[in-house]
Structure 1
Amino acid sequence: MLNTVYRLVAPRTFEPVVVSQDTAGKVVVRPTHLSICNADQRYYQGTRSKEVLAKKLPMALIHEGIGRVVSDDTGTFQPGDAVVMLPNAPVETDEFIAENYLRSSRFCGSGFDGFMQETVVLPPERVVGLPQDVNREVAAFTELVSVATHAISRFDAMAHGRRERLGVWGDGNMGFIVSLLLHLRYPDAKIVVFGRNASKLHDFTFADETHLVDDVSGVSLVDHAFECAGGEGSVAAIEQIIDRINPEGTVSLLGVSENNVPINTRMVLEKGLRLFGSSRSGRDDFEATVQLYRDHPEVLEYLAALVCSVSEATQIADIAAAFESDIRKPMGKTVIQWNL
């Protein structure tokens, strides 16, 4: 089958290329809604190192997306089914290491073509069915929600049982999603969110407490914490977490930083803290997330608050326009209605 792939060939420059793909034993999906991630922006703007750009480009961007099944050689799906596409492509299994941590796994939009294609050809295990009536604009960033699902499942397995106060540092997209999922997963716990922007914190209507990070002196300590700040905010967030967490608490690190982050290991040792990182997600996390959509349809209503803008792409110029608009957004997700 011939397929058109829309690749980033240089910062801010997209070009179409026609490739031949084998569909035997695969599911052919027509993307309908794609969502831009900060990682996509780093490639688009060329803020990654020259060595990384030279190694990974040209490459189709975007690893968050949904679509409709065009055909399925395996009979797993029917034409027209709404599905979410899984970007992680493991080539092996390991008894102890999850698919998203195997160094051999391939990841769409990070060294391998992402979902900016006319059609996406995937093995059936890299596709998960969606409810037919799901909000497509929200479902577009199911991958991001699945990362939060993954982090919380790891926390659930690692943390001790006192979970009366759970703290989340970060008032951006990941902080919003993690806080929301914690609220649903642990209804008896108090969800306490720490952020820098008062107007963003106002959107965390499901949280029990919200606090600005520069005014926490009278705030009770938390039992466990999730760091969702990322970037330059990681340093201050981790420092404050170590200060504001009870002994033997667990700290989940989700924020991505391009630079090394110093950590006060003296207090980590004194308090007996456990720090662990979470990145990406696997099929189990996607399935759990879609099941969450079915069991708690209100979660989609909450997540709809993160849809900042929706742009239609019918030509290459529209792709660049969507990325440029995404740069200027105050918060939330830029969704592309994909019609190329």
Structure 2
Amino acid sequence: MINQVYRLVSPRQFEVTYKDRSLQSDYVVVRPSFLSICAADQRYYTGTRGKEAMAQKLPMALIHEGIGKVVYDCSGTFKKGTYVVMVPNTPSETDEIVAENYLRSSKFRSSGYDGFMQDYVFLKPDRLVELPEWLNPHVGAFIELITIAMHALVRFEAKAHTRRDVFGVWGDGNLGFITSLILKKRFPNSKVIVFGKNQYKLDHFSFADETYQIDQIPENLQIDHAFEAVGGRGSQSAINQSIDYLSPEGSISIMGVSEYPVEINTRMVLEKGITIIGSSRSGRNDFVNTIEFMKEHPDFVDSLGILVGDVHSVKTINDIINAFESDLTLSWGKTVMEWKI
């Protein structure tokens, strides 16, 4: 069959390319239905990723957050019509120590490898996880982002000490919201404190025990563990501020991506014996864990509905451009594309 792929060829310019794909293979054919725009996609779209990266990775289909419907599966793993979440990480090997999302040989969709902006996506069965029928598809569109927080939580639980009375989350955006919400569900008897720059965003964190603007934190406040969900240049001040408020032998889970090196107060890291836990992206297990977490906590999914920002019906390339341009002005939440092209 001929598959149409919608690739970014230069900043703000998409073109359709055609690829011949065989149905007689071990791939499952999925028709994308709801896709979500990530900040990483925007860096490619706007050309701010850097000339070297742009030259190396384009042309490329964007989007690594999305769900779809199975239209063909000769392996018999999924029934036709099954709604699934698509796993963007694509490993080519396994390692008994290193997780699939850290293997240097793994490919990641919309990062040098075509993402989900296609008529049909061909994936191995293990790159798909079935969704519950009741799931809000607008929330389902950004499950991949939720798995990033879930992955960080799994790494935290494996590496941090067990005194978990007070958590601090730095970041009042989408990832900060998801991370703090998961922490509150996972540790209901613990205090979750959120730190951010924008009061109108912090007002959305009604489930948190306390929220503070970063220039109005009480001096005597102490936390057991910190999660940094800021990214960019702001991650430097977020990490160093969390170091200041961490109790001895606490941990910092760093999730925010920065294009530039950041300076960290290593003196206090050493004095307090702080554990720094880095985490990036996610793998199949994180998608499975996230879906199970949603089934256990249906109200968790309801709470995530507040992150659904704009929803765009996409039928043409101009609709794609309009969705990306609109996303640039969105002050809160995620932009979702209903994929009808």
TM-score, normalised to structure 2, is 0.99
| Residue equivalent to 1:167 | 168
Secondary structure, aligned partner of 1:331 = coil
Whole-angstrom distance in 2 between the partners of 1:225 and 1:181: 14
* Structure 1 residue 14 corresponds to structure 2 residue 14: yes
Q: Which amino acid aligns with 2:175?
A: M
Could you say which residue in structure 2 is the equivalent of 1:325? 326
Give the 3-state SS of the residue equivalent to 1:223 in structure 2.
strand
Letter in 2 for 1:232: R
Corresponding letter in the other structure for 2:132 = P
Q: Which residue of 1 aligns with 2:35?
A: 34
Counterpart of 2:144 in structure 1 is 143
Count of residue pairs brought into register by the alignment: 340
Give the residue type in structure 2 aligned to 1:45. T
Q: Which residue of 2 aligns with 1:187?
A: 188
Query: Offset at 1:329?
Result: 0.3
**Where in structure 1 are there 5+ consecutive unaligned residues?**
none
Do structure 1's residue 316 and structure 2's residue 296 form an aligned pair? no
What are the superposed Cα offsets for residues 48-103 of structure 1, whole Å, 9 maximum, x if unpaired?
A: 11111111000000000000010111101011101000000000000100000000
Letter in 2 for 1:139: G
Deviations for 1:113-154, whole angstroms, at most 9, x for unmatched residues? 000000001000000000112100000000000010000000
- Residue identity opposite 1:217 in structure 2: P
Letter in 2 for 1:254: M
1:288 aligns with 2:289: yes
- For 2:220 and 2:101, the matched residues in 1 are separated by 36
The one-letter code of the counterpart of 1:199 is: Y
Q: What CA distance in whole angstroms lies between the structure 1 residues aligned with 2:77 and 2:66?
A: 19
Taking the aligned partners of 1:290 and 1:73, their CA distance within structure 2 comes to 25
The aligned counterpart of 1:271 is: 272
Confirm whether residue 297 of structure 1 aligns to residue 295 of structure 2.
no
Q: CA deviation at 1:218?
A: 4.0
TM-fit CA distance, 1:219? 5.1
TM-score for both structures, normalised by structure 1: 0.99
Q: Which amino acid aligns with 1:111?
A: G
Q: Note if 1:126 corresponds to 2:132.
A: no
Distance 1:218 1:264, change over 3 A: closer
Consecutive unaligned residues in structure 2, runs of 5 or more: none
Counterpart code for 1:73: C
Q: How does 1:66-105 map to 2 (within 5 A)?
A: 66-105=67-106
What do residues 235-261 of structure 1 show as CA deviations (whole Å, max 9, x unaligned)?
110110110100000100001111110
Instruction: Quote the offset at 1:26 in angstroms.
Output: 1.2
- Distance in 1 of aligned mates of 2:104 and 2:21: 25
1:175-254 to structure 2, matched below 5 A, reads 175-218=176-219, 220-254=221-255
